[in-house]
């Protein structure tokens, strides 16, 4: 099975050929990456930006479309996509001006073949989903979290990604979980949101906040040595480095951030029974097993009605540490499954 797969990000546009032999894991070939024509780099806005973006997509895809005239095309997009393929907004790509764009229809007219369009985190879910799981096999249900510059999530349940008829769902990153002095500012303008406390950027500002509250503890930390004692120089790179050195102060920052994350997980479990959680994304990959072990400790501190020790121990796992989730997920979605494990 072959498919042309596209991952549109806020920074990069990636295209690849997905190929899967019967019973084998899928592979990405002829991978191409270029800077995407976004509001951040383009001179134009609104409809002119959209036209420039479509031209880039067309030029980038042209060699693949002519080499593989019969392959389906699947596109992952960094914003909500309705079932009919309308993008309600895409602030990271198009800024605030473009809304309610009939992107799927435009792609079909432009490329004249079968096109699948879905949100990028929904696409990533299909990398980890067991195809053929239906409504009665809740053992395959899970929630995928991305922990990178923001926090994103999608729930896979009953054989599908749970979304409403506008394509919305999976915005736990903007759910308010802190109401006290830890209600730090979120990128969306709100306060105390999960993304403001548990994303890479969130942990960075949480680190600064905790350092200013406990200056003595901060000043004796490995993080302070990396920052020359300057709280304003705390960034995710130094946090990751100090965490790998076993720095106690940074462990407390990480643990507090994960406390909010586990609150969100607990709500998902107690509301709809999700008890498997997969974590991907730049920050979480960079901290790796240190992230996972710390998360497991926090999970054990919570109560989980009806779950035994084994369920709790196997609740969280890290996904692959590459950047191919959406591209592979789109391929698996089209091919009908991973056909392994
Ligand atoms: Zn927010």
Q: Give 94-141 pLDDT, tens digit per residue.
A: 988 899 999 999 999 999 999 999 999 999 999 999 765 444 456 789
- Which DSSP category does 1 fall into? -
> Rounded mean pLDDT of 70-81?
95
CA 21 – CA 271 distance, rounded (Å): 39
CA of 172 relative to ligand 1 center, distance in Å: 9
CA of 262 relative to ligand 1 center, distance in Å: 17
Q: pLDDT of 220-278, one tens digit each?
A: 999 999 999 999 999 999 999 999 999 999 999 999 999 999 999 999 999 999 999 99
Contact 264, 302 (CB under 8 A): no
CA of 160 relative to ligand 1 center, distance in Å: 26
Contact 282, 149 (CB under 8 A): yes
Q: What is the pLDDT of residue 134?
A: 45
Q: Is 31 helix (H, G, I), strand (E, B) or coil?
A: strand
Q: pLDDT of 174-195, one tens digit each?
A: 999 999 999 999 988 999 999 9
Q: What is the pLDDT of residue 130?
A: 79
pLDDT band (50, 70, 90) for residue 61: very high
**Average per-residue pLDDT for the chain:** 94
Q: Is 254 helix (H, G, I), strand (E, B) or coil?
A: helix
CA 211 – CA 13 distance, rounded (Å): 38
Q: What is the pLDDT of residue 131?
A: 67
Q: pLDDT of 310-335, one tens digit each?
A: 999 999 999 999 999 999 999 999 99
Contact 157, 275 (CB under 8 A): no
CA of 249 relative to ligand 1 center, distance in Å: 26
Alpha carbon distance, N-terminus to C-terminus of the chain: 19
Q: pLDDT of 281-302, one tens digit each?
A: 999 999 999 999 999 999 999 9
């Amino acid at each position: 099975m072959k498919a042309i797969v596209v991952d549109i990000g806020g920074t990069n546009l990636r295209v690849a050929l997905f190929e899967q032999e019967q019973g084998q894991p899928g592979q990405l070939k002829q991978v191409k990456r270029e800077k995407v024509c976004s509001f951040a780099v383009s001179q134009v806005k609104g409809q002119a930006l959209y036209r420039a973006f479509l031209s880039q997509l067309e030029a980038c895809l042209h060699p693949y479309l002519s080499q593989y005239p019969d392959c389906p095309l699947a596109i992952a997009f960094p914003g909500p996509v309705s079932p009919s393929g309308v993008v309600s907004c895409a602030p990271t790509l198009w800024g605030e001006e473009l809304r309610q764009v009939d992107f799927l229809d435009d792609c079909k007219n432009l490329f004249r073949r079968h096109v699948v369009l879905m949100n990028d985190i929904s696409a990533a879910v299909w990398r980890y989903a067991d195809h053929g799981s239906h409504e009665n096999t809740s053992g395959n249900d899970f929630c995928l979290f991305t922990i990178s510059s923001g926090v994103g999530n999608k729930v896979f349940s009953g054989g599908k990604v749970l979304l409403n008829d506008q394509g919305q769902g999976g915005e736990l990153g903007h759910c308010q979980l802190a109401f006290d002095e830890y209600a730090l500012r979120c990128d969306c303008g709100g306060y105390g949101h999960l993304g403001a406390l548990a994303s890479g950027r969130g942990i960075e500002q949480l680190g600064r906040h905790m350092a200013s509250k406990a200056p003595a503890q901060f000043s004796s930390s490995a993080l302070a040595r990396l920052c020359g004692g300057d709280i304003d120089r705390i960034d995710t790179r130094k946090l990751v480095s100090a965490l790998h050195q076993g720095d106690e102060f940074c462990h407390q920052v990480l643990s507090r951030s994960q406390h909010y994350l586990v609150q969100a997980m607990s709500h998902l479990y107690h509301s709809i029974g999700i008890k498997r959680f997969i974590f991907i994304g730049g920050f979480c990959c960079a901290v790796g097993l240190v992230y996972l072990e710390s998360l497991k400790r926090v999970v054990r501190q919570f109560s989980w009605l009806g779950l035994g020790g084994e369920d709790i121990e196997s609740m969280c796992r890290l996904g692959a540490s590459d950047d191919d989730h959406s591209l592979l997920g789109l391929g698996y979605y089209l091919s009908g499954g991973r056909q392994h494990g």
